[in-house]
A and B are shown apart, each in its own frame.
Chain A
């Protein structure tokens, strides 16, 4: 039998389903919600409801958005012929943080992972191909993760995207800025040496 009243136990059970939230954290969050004001609790419930009701995928780039096309795809100031391909919508924020990229995005929603049964056909690749053709793209930047799966995805896409006039590039891999070479692992160092540039 539960130690908590039924609505409380239900809230704890629901919170426990969130990533990184265990029983103790779920209890703390549930009691915090219970102690918070009526307005705060309603705002939280409303925000959760709205995120499910109003968000969808952009029909052009597959980014998560509340307007279709998304803000990047509909922006007149962005270079629509420069496409950065990323694995997940969360990766867009990392590229945007640089404040130096003015192109658009394409979200694959995953990467090729044979061991998990994910092949190219499970990714959102077909609309990338169509988009590259229709929008007469000049360059496609493959910004998938530098993992075995991300590399396989990038190599596969580069093969599919080969056509005259289209530049296909891969983001660089190597030593993080501000770090110490002494602590770099073998693979990172190898990639950094391979990708060295002339000054």
Chain B
């Protein structure tokens, strides 16, 4: 089988056999690919720090006949999360990106829009501002996966929510007006909805971090994560950690 070369984001690694690593990569060429990096635990010379989670790499791999796992041949680092300080908050943010990509993407299905989103968000997670890239990523992942309903109108009556209060519920899609809100609903502020609309129009680099700093968008993130969790039918491991970071 010929060697394949692609840009990729390393999502997770697991110890495998005596000294190998089982690596989950999100490649630009083929989407999510699982492969084995032989002797990666024993010798750092071949892969170095390239297999650290959330490293943006150029990977060379080979598919083997009748085998699900590819064989990783080489990895060249294009951008590493270790290049800047890894704080606890940054580690949680990076872990959240990796978890969402791993949980939401199907195996071996290229998705260039999600790949570009991932690379862009990773480059913005270098500094000390986490909430804007994380919220932008959650919003666009929900949109690109087709899980994001129209948040400008009540999902029940279709009335425009401009300026009025809007509510969401863990077990229901979208936003509703005060009239159709269910028990134990949460409110999403008009500012957060405005911010979401802005994020859907602009690239991440064009969203002003200063305007977001005043409004960290916890309600918007809660809505998005509830939506994503409902569709993948499982709790996200990093969600609790993100929530504790806001406290």
Point out residues on A near B: beta carbons under 8 Å: 19-20, 112-117, 119-120, 146-149, 151-152, 155-156, 159, 183-188, 190-191
Option from B44, B77, B81 in Cβ contact (under 8 Å) with A186: B77
Q: How far is the CA of A152 from the CA of B238 in the complex (A)?
A: 15
Option from B18, B82, B99, B244 in Cβ contact (under 8 Å) with A146: B82
B90 touches A152 (CB 8 A): yes
Max count, chain B CB within 10 A of own CB: residue among A114, A186, A188: A114
Q: Which residues of A contact B96 (CB under 8 A)?
A: 114
What distance in Å separates the Cβ of B225 from its nearest Cβ neighbour in chain A?
14
Starting from the known contacts A114-B94, A155-B87, 13 additional A-B residue pairs (CB-CB under 8 Å) come to A114-B92, A114-B95, A114-B237, A146-B49, A148-B91, A148-B94, A151-B82, A159-B88, A185-B44, A186-B77, A187-B52, A188-B48, A191-B82
Q: How far is the CA of A185 from the CA of B81 in the complex (A)?
A: 14
Nearest 9 A/B pairs, CB to CB: A185-B48, A114-B95, A152-B91, A20-B18, A151-B86, A187-B49, A115-B95, A156-B88, A117-B237
Q: Interface residues of B, CB < 8 Å — how many?
A: 33
A155 touches B95 (CB 8 A): no
Option from B50, B95, B98 in Cβ contact (under 8 Å) with A185: B50
Nearest B residue to A121 by beta-carbon distance?
B244
What distance in Å separates the Cβ of A26 from its nearest Cβ neighbour in chain B?
14
User: Provided the pairs A114-B91, A114-B96 are in contact, do residues A152 and B77 lie with their beta carbons within 8 angstroms?
Assistant: no
B215 interface residue (CB < 8 Å to A)? no
118-143 of chain B: CB within 8 A of chain A = none
Q: Which residues of B contact A188 (CB under 8 A)?
A: 44, 48-49
Enumerate 21 A-B pairs (CB-CB under 8 Å) in ascending A order.
A19-B18, A112-B88, A114-B94, A114-B96, A114-B237, A115-B99, A116-B237, A146-B82, A147-B49, A148-B53, A148-B86, A151-B91, A156-B87, A156-B88, A183-B45, A185-B47, A185-B77, A186-B48, A187-B83, A188-B49, A191-B82
Q: How far is the CA of A146 from the CA of B49 in the complex (A)?
A: 9
Q: How far is the CA of A88 from the CA of B93 in the complex (A)?
A: 25
B32 interface residue (CB < 8 Å to A)? no
Binary per-residue interface labels of chain B (215-246) against chain A in the complex, 1 for a CB within 8 Å, 0 otherwise: 00000000000000000000001100100100
What distance in Å separates the Cβ of B96 from its nearest Cβ neighbour in chain A?
7
Q: How far is the CA of A147 from the CA of B82 in the complex (A)?
A: 7
Q: Which residues of B contact A155 (CB under 8 A)?
A: 85-88
